[in-house]
Amino acid sequence: MGNVWYTDIRHFLDAYGYPAPDLPRPAERLMEYLGSIIEAVTSGNQRKATKITGVRCRRRLGHRRCEGRILAAVAEANPEAIEWECPLCTDRGSISGWRGNMWDKMSGK
């Protein structure tokens, strides 16, 4: 069974919306991973449908990286969240605080 991540992406950012300068490297990598999911969901024409993002799963099973590609979409029940999941290992989560940040391609930033 995969992990479940509930993340507010703003926790990784400073007051101006940029990556916090004092982030430890593991937190920075997690921020980049979640940011790539936000970017994939908010770019392109289909914004409502679940997308195969092309973002490779970051979970490691038995010292081997999962080969899954993340499926993600803006949550129907809560449009302020992006829900994502790896169909292979079932790692999944929800990203809040994504609107208007540097990865949000729907906002036109």
Q: Residue 47: pLDDT above 70?
A: no
pLDDT by residue (tens digit) across 51-90?
A: 889 999 999 888 899 999 999 999 989 999 999 999 999 9
Neighbour tally for 45: CB within 10 Å: 5
The token duo for 8 is 């507010």
Global pTM reads: 0.90
Q: Residue 108: pLDDT above 70?
A: no
Q: Domain coordinates of the chain in residue numbers?
A: 8-96
Q: Which residue is listed with tokens 């129907």? A: 76
**CA-to-CA distance for 39 and 108, rounded, in angstroms?**
12
